[in-house]
Chains A and B, each alone.
Chain A
Amino acid sequence: MDRGEQFVRLFLQHQRRIYGLILALVPNGPDADDIHQETCAVLWQKFGEFEAGTNFSAWALRIARYQVMAYYTTKRRTKARLSDETLDAVVDRMAARPEREDARSAALDGCLGDLPEDDRQLIELRYRGGASVEEVARHTGRTVVAAYKALNRAHERLLQCMRGKLGAANA
């Protein structure tokens, strides 16, 4: 396998958690996409420094974290942001998770199927429809506060089901 293939294989295996980290730190949208693309480019540039057999996930997440920090700087955002210590803690915790993308994907399919209709519609609106919480509120005739609560409940229900299916605390 040449290096390009090696890289793409590893990248595809880990892209969900890389994207997961970015989405945990940056609003969903063009900025998150840019960071994701930039991260992908940097990972490839630096792939020579990656030691085969070591934890790709930890390495890639660390690079993604720097891209997020770079984004914070270039945007010169006045808004408050998570502290470096917190970012490190999130990255470490995420990298320590076992890699079970296939199992996760299968579990998620099952859990989505078992989700009560109301919850499922919220999830569909939010992810398939790309609706903001406000839009979810409007579409479902809820107040924004109630929409937050309902979305939260739907996510928690999914998470609980995923934990059950994956059989560990590491959903």
Chain B
Amino acid sequence: MNSDELGELLEALRDGTIDDAQTARLDQILAEDPEALDHFVDRALLQADLTFKLGRQPAMPAPARRRRASWKPLLALAAAAAVVVAALLAIPTKQPESPSYEGCAVLTRALDVTWGDSAPSLGSVLPKRRLSLLSGSIQVEFFSGARVVVEGPADFELVSRNEGFCRHGKLRAVVPPQAKGFTIGASDLKLVDRGTEFGLRVPRGGDAEVHVFQGMVELHSRGTSRDLGGGSAVRVDGAGTILPIPADTEGFLTSAELTFRSAEEGRGRYARWESASERLRQDPRVAVYYSFEDSPSWSRELRCNRPERSPVDGAIIGARWTDGRWPGKKALEFKTPGDRVRFQDAGTYESLTLMTWVRVDGLDRPFSGLMLTDGWTSGSVHWQITQTGKLRLGIHGDKISNDYDTEPMFPAGNLGRWIHLCTVYDRQAREVVHYVDGRLSRRLPLKFDTALQLGNVEFGNWGSPIDGSHYGIRHLNGRMDEFVIFGQALKESDVRELYQVGAPAP
């Protein structure tokens, strides 16, 4: 038996177009070949699963319509079904597909930081891990509500959603009542907060200092504990001796100062990006450019920045203006299934580079559209993210199509932060190359080569699927604040440079 024949018989059976000879053939295959029988059962179960998931579910009995004597129990069934279905829905059922992560805090500020080991991204969720700062300052917001500003050089460990450990460095913690019990350990002591604001300084190889600015902190050291009130400060030496010292309120960077200085730093980066954006507008390699900057915020048009090449302003449908990578940088937010920006491009491309800055807030749909041409026919380009978090370039040639996927690249930590995505379709080198945040993510050989034509295109959604058919929605849940299409394949070094000049933070 071959699986083609069996599968085709099953499809024909589903449609009711199976004829007598085919039925006899199916019967014969199933009777003679146990493997075929297994396969048939597999397919039948898959068909039922798909019907339940995507299609119309079979109706339950409708007792009132029936004339048979059985209507009474059926009424009971209907009643029981109503109750039990409700009850079953209320039971927190296992959700094996529900994503989870070992997060305990979010990195919300990072100023002039040089990381000692792997650098987490600004805005990302931090799992339990050590943060090693050679220099610079960061702000970490624990899930419990405690907020900690750490000044480098420092070695600070996230122990849980309400606990940290400082090997060395300087930090200032603000602990609201709901994070009571927030704990910070150091080699010779442990601080348990009772709703306050305090500073901790742990010099490398020196004595630790605790400064309480407000409220009350329990200091545990060498088996003893004592309460420190607002305005007090102590030094704890290696032997556990506790000495009062003058409180130093000025010596610890506050959250407000850090925010102010980060905003200044952000303005510097924004200005640097702006001049790079000006250069991009003149760049002969650029075919389509939307900087998202030139439209007033009441406008429903997305100004194109290469009028001589892509003469069409994008029409904004549903999406709303909001902040982009920096305060003041314009972006569009895509949230609901109708949201999209629709534009047009008349070019034909041998090779193509797609580049965007997006903040993906969630992967709600089987596909989240970045840029999709209408339909799915010869020359179509579909650039999107799959629900499993793979960046995908789908190319349609003459009666043939192929998807080029990265590995999943949207763990929970990558949601809600600005990310640079770039995909190169290179007909000369016969490859597709994906870059994430300026770094090579995946290189895939071309399955076939074809010139690409965009025509009508949408950002953040899919314009028109094949007429008359039913497709799931593909809207993006997130923000976009720059989109460039280069009419040629960019090199790795070009992509890295574009990333660096646009990165929201170092």
Q: Which residue of B lies closest to A27 (CB)?
A: B16
B52 in the interface (beta carbon within 8 A): yes
Q: Are A124 and B471 in contact (CB under 8 A)?
A: yes
Asked if A86 meets B27 with Cβ closer than 8 Å, knowing A7-B80, A132-B17, the reply is: yes
Contact A20-B4, Cβ < 8 Å, known A117-B403, A132-B15 = no
Cα–Cα distance between A97 and B403 once the two chains are bound (Å): 34
In the assembled complex, the Cα of A156 lies from the Cα of B97 at a distance in Å of 22
A139 to B376, CA, bound (A): 11
Write the chain A residue with the least CB distance to B39.
A159
Q: A21-B44, A118-B401, A148-B8 are in contact. Are A16 and B49 (CB under 8 A)?
A: yes
Within 8 A of B (CB), among A75-128: 79-83, 85-86, 89-90, 93-94, 97, 102-106, 108-110, 112-114, 116-118, 120-121, 123-128
Residue B81, interface by CB 8 Å? yes
Q: How far is the CB of B251 from chain A (nearest CB, A)?
A: 52
The stretch of B55-63, B123-131, B227-235, B311-319 in contact with A is: B55-63
Chain A residues in 8 Å Cβ range of B31? 83, 85-86, 89
Interface 1/0 per residue, A112-152 and B, CB below 8 Å:
11101110110111111111111000011000000011011
Judge whether B366 and A44 touch: CB under 8 Å: no
Jot down 6 A-B pairs with beta carbons below 8 A, ordered by A.
A4-B80, A5-B84, A80-B20, A105-B49, A106-B95, A125-B469
Inter-chain contacts of A140 with B (CB < 8 A): 466
Q: How far is the CB of B97 from chain A (nearest CB, A)?
A: 4
Please determine whether B14 and A129 come into contact, CB atoms closer than 8 angstroms.
no
Q: Are A36 and B48 interface neighbours, CB within 8 A?
A: no
CA distance in complex: A7, B79 (Å):
12
The listed residue (A21, A44, A116) touching B73 by CB distance below 8 A is A44
- Count chain A residues whose beta carbon lies closer than 8 angstroms to a beta carbon of B: 79
Known A-B contacts A33-B58, A125-B470, A133-B12; the reply to A82 vs B23 at CB < 8 A is yes
Contact residues in A for B159 (Cβ distance below 8 Å): none
Q: A20-B48, A124-B469 are in contact. List 8 more A-B contacts (CB 8 A).
A: A19-B52, A24-B43, A28-B51, A89-B31, A108-B50, A116-B401, A120-B366, A121-B465
Closest to A9 in B: B84
Are A32's CB and B8's CB within 8 A?
no
Q: Please name all residues of chain B whose beta carbon is closer than 8 Å to the beta carbon of A37 when the two chains form the complex.
A: 58-62
CA distance A128 to B469 in the complex (A): 9
Chain B residues with a Cβ under 8 A of chain A? 3-4, 7-8, 10-21, 23-24, 26-27, 30-31, 37-38, 40-56, 58-62, 66, 68, 70, 73-74, 76-77, 79-81, 83-85, 87-88, 93-97, 366, 376, 382, 386-388, 390, 392, 394, 401-403, 465-466, 468-472
B4, B20, B37, B80: the one contacting A90 at CB < 8 Å is B37
A131 and B60 alpha carbons, distance in the complex (Å): 23
Contact A117 B401 (CB under 8 A): yes
Chain B residues with Cβ below 8 Å from A158 are 46, 50
> Are the CB atoms of B94 and A102 closer together than 8 Å?
yes
Interface status of A53 (Cβ within 8 A of chain B): no
Chain B residues positioned under 8 Å from A36 (CB to CB) = 58-59
B263–chain A nearest beta-carbon distance, Å: 39
Nearest-CB residue, chain B, relative to A19: B48
Alpha-carbon distance A83/B23, docked complex (angstroms): 10
Asked if A162 is at the interface of the complex by the 8 Å CB criterion, the answer is: yes
Q: Do the beta carbons of B471 and A8 come within 8 Å of each other?
A: no
Identify whether the interface residues of B are mostly helix, strand, loop, or mixed: helix
Asked whether, in the complex, the Cβ of B60 is within 8 Å of the Cβ of A27, the reply is no
Is the contact region of chain A dominated by helix, strand, or loop, or is it mixed? helix
Q: Are A4 and B79 in contact (CB under 8 A)?
A: yes
Question: In the complex, what distance in Å separates the CA atom of A148 from the CA atom of B81?
Answer: 38
The 4 A-B residue pairs with the shortest CB-CB distance, nearest first, are: A4-B80, A27-B16, A20-B48, A24-B44
A131-B469 contact in complex given A106-B97, A155-B46, C-beta closer than 8 Å: yes
Question: Closest residue of chain B to A37, judged by CB?
Answer: B61
The distance in angstroms between the C-alpha atoms of A169 and B388, with both chains bound, is: 24
**Distance (Å) between the CB of B294 and the closest chain A CB?**
34
A10 to B198, CA, bound (A): 58
The answer to whether B77 touches A93 (Cβ under 8 A) is no
Residues from chain B with Cβ under 8 Å of A93 in the complex: 37-38, 41
With both beta carbons as reference points, the residue of chain A lying nearest to B377 in the complex is identified as A141
Task: Tell me, yes or no, whether A52 is within 8 Å of chain B by CB.
Answer: no
Q: With A8-B81, A8-B84, A129-B470 in contact, do A16 and B45 touch (Cβ < 8 Å)?
A: yes
Report the separation of the CA atoms of residues A12 and B392 in the bound assembly, to the nearest whole angstrom: 37
In the complex, what distance in Å separates the CA atom of A41 from the CA atom of B468? 36
A73 proximal to B (CB < 8 A): no
Contact, CB under 8 Å: A82 / B27: yes
Q: Is A29 an interface residue (CB 8 A)?
A: yes
Asked if A40 lies at the interface with its beta carbon under 8 angstroms from chain B, I say: yes
Q: Kindly identify which residue among A25, A106, A129 contacts B469, using a CB–CB cutoff of 8 Å.
A: A129
B228 shortest CB reach to chain A, Å: 51
B61 touches A124 (CB 8 A): no
- Please give, as numbers and ranges, the residues of chain B lying within 8 Å of A151 by CB-CB distance: 7, 11
Least Cβ–Cβ distance between B14 and chain A, in angstroms: 5
A127 touches B54 (CB 8 A): yes
Cβ–Cβ contact B27 & A19, under 8 A:
no
Q: What B residues does A133 contact at CB under 8 A?
A: 11-12, 15, 17
Shortest CB distance B54–A (Å):
4
Chain B residues within 8 Å of A109, by CB: 53, 97, 387
Q: Which residues of A contact B392 (CB under 8 A)?
A: 117
Are the CB atoms of B468 and A83 closer together than 8 Å? no
Minimum C-beta distance from B408 to chain A (A): 10
- Docked CA distance A102–B93 (Å): 9
A69 within 8 A of B: no
Bound complex: CA of A80 vs CA of B398, how far in Å? 41
Cβ of A117 and Cβ of B52 under 8 Å apart? no
Which one of A19, A44, A120, A126 lies within 8 Å of B74 (CB-CB)?
A: A44
Complex Cα spacing A21 to B44, Å: 7
How far in angstroms is the closest Cβ of chain B from A119?
A: 10
Q: Give the shortest distance, in Å, between B244 (CB) and chain A (any CB).
A: 59
> CA A171 – CA B114 in complex, angstroms?
50
Q: Judging by beta carbons under 8 Å apart, are A106 and B96 in contact?
A: yes
Interface membership of A45, Cβ < 8 A: yes
